[in-house]
Amino acid sequence: MIETSIVEVLERKARQLRVHCLRTTSEAGSGHPTSCMSAADLVAALFFHVMRYDPQDPDDPANDRFVLSKGHAAPLLYAAWAEAGAFPVEQLDTLRKLSSELEGHPTPRFRWAEVASGSLGQGLSLGLGIALNGKYLDKLDYKVYVLLGDGECAEGSVWEAAALARRYKLDNLVALIDVNGLGQSQRTMYEFDVESYRDRFDAFGWFTLGIDGHNFQEILSALEVAQRVKDQPVLIAARTKKGKGVSFLEDRDGWHGKPVKKGEELERALAELNHTEGNSGADRSAGKDRPTSSRRISVAGIPSVPPGTMEPPYYRRGDQVATREAYGTALVKLGDVDPRVVALDGDVKNSTFAEKFLAAHPDRYFEMFIAEQNMVGAAVGLSTRGKVPFVSTFAAFLTRAFDHIRMSAISRVNIKYVGSHAGVSIGEDGPSQMGLEDLAMMRAVPGSVVLYPSDAVAAERAVELAARYRGICYIRTNRPKTPVLYANEETFEIGKAKLLRSTPQDRVTVVAAGVTLLEALRAWEELQKESIAVRVVDLFSVKPLDEVLLRKSASETSNLVLTVEDHYADGGLGDAVAGALAPHGVRVHKLAVREIPTSGKPEELLDAAGISARHIVQRIKEIL
């Protein structure tokens, strides 16, 4: 039995959390108070009795971590941290205001939020990544607690995470499901059937418990059991009531995302919670002793990899090397000099060449299997703990994880995505395997850098540049072996292109990257024979663009530009160039993949798509 005094303290805390959630959402005129109120008892138990943390130092590596997967319950998260002493309780009244860090769904603008959440079904993956870091990399004994809503458990990414957590025996990961039975528009799939959730997690190999989520004896007993479980993650399915504590809100339809009206309605709700002024912030001593860290790990302001520390490329011009293979080579070199670098791959490591990193640094490689959403989510979690994840798979398969990728941008994390097998040049495998949308996807991610190396030297330099860049970077690699174009000493920069062919007589600027750069160079040779001079630019950095070089080249070629890309016509390299140059009166013509391709040999497919050297020559003649 848990001591009565502890239960009384936590009951008061839970009531105060509910009061904060009601008050702040009413003041804001929007929010999800009833979703907060169902989980208030669970959060009170965690924050004020179970979790070890320093509320003044969220970056302390020894802290237990809390991930709010059901991000619409953000007011509850803010209230818990305020009550824990992280910031003044009065600041809660700024909820959802433009200048406030207390946003409608949490982002790391609020420094005690581990990650951005609110796009449901992602929190367990994020917690999994943090747990992987604690158990296998930093070897710290912190626990990771993830609070999920029952409705979001319909998301497949939850079960991707559940499977992998058991695979890695993450006994430092505890998931709590707030089974309040109500979704946004109707009852959830299993309503209050706690055993259904237990059965499903049981099937994935978790240790599971079912409890009354408003009974502190059961809550605390379950959390105590979770401390003792070994080699298994723990699931606590807690039956709760949405709007708990207020009779006209409890388990009632029509209140999701709806605040209580200020005035009489709010006062009535507060009266039912027996609220009295002045009790906020009491009983903070209910929490566990704060952690003491034996070593400090910097996770804020991650330093850059010092220039020149990574072993340079070593190739001969003309050697046939796939850029995807050069990626694997460079990743090993980077791992040799930067212990923060980790690699994750989705069971295609022998195609992306991430297997090279596995062989060289097996303790920093995580196999994520064919579950790309969870792979990205776990990388986000690892990044929050100061690691630099390189996430690789086929470019086509990254598209299914786009929601997780865009949320990683909102989380402001430091992740490098690598998409191989891009474009029709992969050949016979057919259109399902061809990444033809990836440039458009990654260009749309705020703050992202998009690099498209055209040979092995550029690919190695792209890996080094990506590691130095603090934020999201995407590297596009190709399947076929292609000739080495650049000397090993060649330098590359984010935001800079390469001018490969140029004369004062040039009449058109051809902009390409990857395999189409090789086609452009072949076209240049053919046009030379006919005394037609054209300029060739390697658009190594697709985002940001080298607008200075592009505008200069265009102005010197009668403002005529032709882009060539192994990508669909919308949103890729051509649109990037056109977007930068069209406002300056430059005519940009695009060669791109305009129909769904088929299987075939790479050279056949490039020609069928209209992006081969033959088509470049033909289009230039038409332009002129």
- For residue 6, give both structure tokens: 């502890």
Helix-helix angle 156-167:123-132, to 10 degrees:
20
Q: Is residue 608 exposed (0-12), middle (13-18) or buried (19+ Cβ within 10 Å)?
A: middle
Asked whether the beta carbons of 162 and 124 are under 8 A apart, the reply is yes
**Separation CA 372–CA 377 (nearest Å):** 9
Phi then psi for residue 462, to 5 deg, are -65, -40
Active site residue 622: no
Q: How far is CA 428 from CA 11, 502, 597, in A?
A: 64, 35, 10
* Residue among 54, 119, 118, 103 at smallest CA distance from 81: 54
Instruction: Give the neighbor-by-neighbor strand order of the sheet with 365-367.
Output: 365-367, 341-345, 388-394, 416-420, 473-476, 449-451, 541-543
Q: How far is CA 41 from CA 32, 76, 106, in A?
A: 16, 11, 20
Asked whether the beta carbons of 460 and 468 are under 8 A apart, the reply is no
Cβ atoms < 10 Å from Cβ of 582: 13
Q: How far is CA 259 from CA 69, 188, 560, in A?
A: 21, 21, 57
Asked whether the beta carbons of 396 and 435 are under 8 A apart, the reply is yes
- For residue 18, give both structure tokens: 């509910």
**Separation CA 552–CA 496 (nearest Å):** 13
**How, if at all, do strands 388-394 and 341-345 pair?**
parallel
**Separation CA 98–CA 568 (nearest Å):** 38
Q: Which residues pair with 173 in a beta bridge?
A: 144
Q: Identify the three-state secondary structure at position 239.
A: strand
Q: Which of 103, 160, 372, 437 is catalytic?
A: 372
Q: How far apart are the first and last CA of the chain?
A: 87
**Separation CA 94–CA 62 (nearest Å):** 30
Phi then psi for residue 435, to 5 deg, are -75, 105
Distance of CA 473 to the CA centre of its chain: 11
Amino acid letter, residue 147: L
Q: Identify the three-state secondary structure at position 189.
A: coil
**Separation CA 2–CA 282 (nearest Å):** 20
Task: State the number of CA atoms in the 13 A half-sphere of 344 facing the CB.
Answer: 29
Q: Which residues are catalytic?
A: 372
